[in-house]
Amino acid sequence: MSATIKDVANECGLSVATVSRVLNNSANVSEDSARRVNEAIEKLGYSPNFLGRNLRKRETNVILVIMPTSEHSFYMKIVAGIQAYAQPRGYDIICASSNSTSEIEVRQMNMLFNRTVDGVILLGTSYDAETLNRLSKTYDIALCCEGVDGAELLTVVVDDEQAAYDAVRELIRLGHRRIGFLGANDRAVSSNFRRKGYIRALKESGIEVRNDLIYKGNFEYEHGALGFDKLMSAAEPPTAIFCVSDLLAIAAIHRAVDRGLRVGDDISIMGFDNITMCEMMLPTVSTVEQPCSKLGEMVVRKLMSNIGLPAASKDNGFYTVPHRVIIRESVKPYKNRT
């Protein structure tokens, strides 16, 4: 087995207390002792066991990020943002994917319950509001990217309703009036908000909201083609489509091309998230940018300052970060063709 603090103490002829002091750079240890301790550590290749330390200190300085799926590069960008903030400030970030399965999610949440980590950031969850409210009394939990209706715990998201509104307004400004919506089903809070924003933008411009131009599936690639076909089968098919994820938009673009349409010219397609792939695609994909590093930074910053606080004084606020509509090749002004 590897060396313990006791071994180090024996090696340098000092007590474990002194070794511990050196380990934690605490004051009141002579230069000479420090040197002897460090030599012994070096000699034995000693590395402190954090299970012992954390058990004693009742903290681990580790935060777990649980994401619904590891397939979305979007989530990993958030994690990168979280890490960039937390790492230099003494917290390690680890992440796990629940595959959108509540069973796996619960299992991973166990790391929080059993004190393997100090806090958890959920980028989407299958917990309901009631459970989250209860858990967040005892544990440090935050939501990011995807809120939960009625949940009163730290949440950091973009203003989905406004973001969708802004995106659809842009399509309208470009002359489109038959605009389709490719979204997720009603359980997805963010998709619902985006649908509301879509509807608000239409109404505000005096455009009729038509049910055959609204598709509800989920955020995944597969639904892009399904939704596209459904929308295009409408009596008066859309000239532009707003999708609640870039993956949906990319799939829709693919499907449009397969059907012989020129994306941009014949049909405009807009996504949401601004994943890296948007700029890699041909055509490049218009989208609503979610500021991943900002989202990550804010949520972990607030979570970190919650850790250790009594339940009553924890920040369980709802925060939004600014979004940005980005027009690329997949969206062009509407031209009335003969």
Partner DNA sequence: GTGAAAGCGCTAACAC
Partner DNA sequence: GTGTTAGCGCTTTCAC
Restricting to residues 276-295, name those near its own copies by CB under 8 A.
276-277, 280-282
Among 23, 96, 209, 232, interactor with its own copies by CB under 8 A: 96
Is residue 306 within 8 A of residue 315, CB to CB? The reply is yes
C-alpha distances out from residue 161 to 133, 176, 276, 298, 334, Å: 24, 20, 23, 20, 24
CB of 327 to its own copies, least distance (A): 18
CA-wise closest residue to 270 among 194, 188, 186: 194
Residues 6+ apart with CB under 8 A from 265: 332, 335
Site for its own copies in 107-136 (CB under 8 A): 107-108, 110-111, 113-116
Give the pairing type, strands 179-184 and 324-326: unpaired
**Interface with its own copies, residue 25, by CB under 8 A:** no
Q: Is 308 in the site for its own copies (CB under 8 A)?
A: no
Residue 40 binds to DNA (criterion: CB under 7 A): no
Say which DSSP state 243 is in: E
Residues in the chain: 338
62 binds its own copies (CB under 8 A): yes
Interface with its own copies, residue 2, by CB under 8 A? yes
Q: Tokens standing for 299?
A: 């949520």
Contact pattern from residue 172 through residue 211 relative to its own copies, giving x for each residue in contact according to CB under 8 A and a dash for the rest: ----------------------------------------
Q: d(Cα 250, Cα 227) in Å, to the nearest integer?
A: 12
| Beta strands at 318-321 and 155-158: parallel, antiparallel or unpaired | parallel
Q: Which residue from 18, 20, 33, 83 is in contact with its own copies, where contact means CB under 8 A?
A: 83
DSSP letters of 256-297? HHHTT--BTTTBEEE-SB--THHHHSSSPPBEEE--HHHHHH
Binding to DNA by residue 13, rule CB under 7 A? yes
Q: Is residue 25 part of the contact set for DNA (CB under 7 A)?
A: no
Choose among DNA, its own copies, none what residue 76 binds, the Cβ cut-off being 5 to 8 Å by kind. its own copies
Q: Which residues bind its own copies (CB under 8 A)?
A: 1-2, 45, 47-55, 58, 60, 62, 64, 70-71, 73, 76-77, 79-80, 83, 87, 92-97, 99, 104, 107-108, 110-111, 113-116, 138, 221, 250-251, 253-254, 257, 276-277, 280-282
